[in-house]
Structure 1
Amino acid sequence: MWDCANLFTQGGMGWMMLMGLFWIVLIVVIVYLVIKLLSDRTDNRSGKETPLELLQKEFARGNITEEEYLKRKKHLE
């Protein structure tokens, strides 16, 4: 009845299994954090445009005048 408790109290296979589980969980957490960090970096580069890039696109489309473009550009810089 107390076979499971004896594994941990006598330093048997129970501690080795527990340490193995600890290392597996630690590795999974590290891999998750690295993947999350790398995905955040690529999202910022490709998905989001800077305000200056948006302003340049608006000017290229002809939605704003050159005077307004230069005024906003000066404000952004």
Structure 2
Amino acid sequence: MATRTITTARYKLYPSPRNESHTLFAHELFVPYPYALIDLPSFDLAGKSSLFAACRLADMKMGQLVTFELEQDLRRFESRFVPD
């Protein structure tokens, strides 16, 4: 099965197959841990979110991009996320 990629001005993205939505939401966070397991439902977010494997084009750094519909969910994720 071919994976659809999304290229933006800052990232080349590979959507997670577990995403309910492949939407890029307004609030985003680049996590420089490409192999960290991120289980978004476990963060009890109020709005929608999406997760992408990401390559940051500015420096070709691999990681993950997490996007959120609500800014409060971004803050919640930032305060609770601990890389493996």
What's the TM-score once normalised by structure 1's chain length?
0.23
**Larger gyration radius, structure 1 or structure 2:** 1
**Structure with greater helix share of residues:** 1
Of structures 1 and 2, the one scoring higher in RCO (CA 8 A, sep 6+) is: 2
What's the TM-score once normalised by structure 2's chain length?
0.22
**Structure with greater strand share of residues:** 2
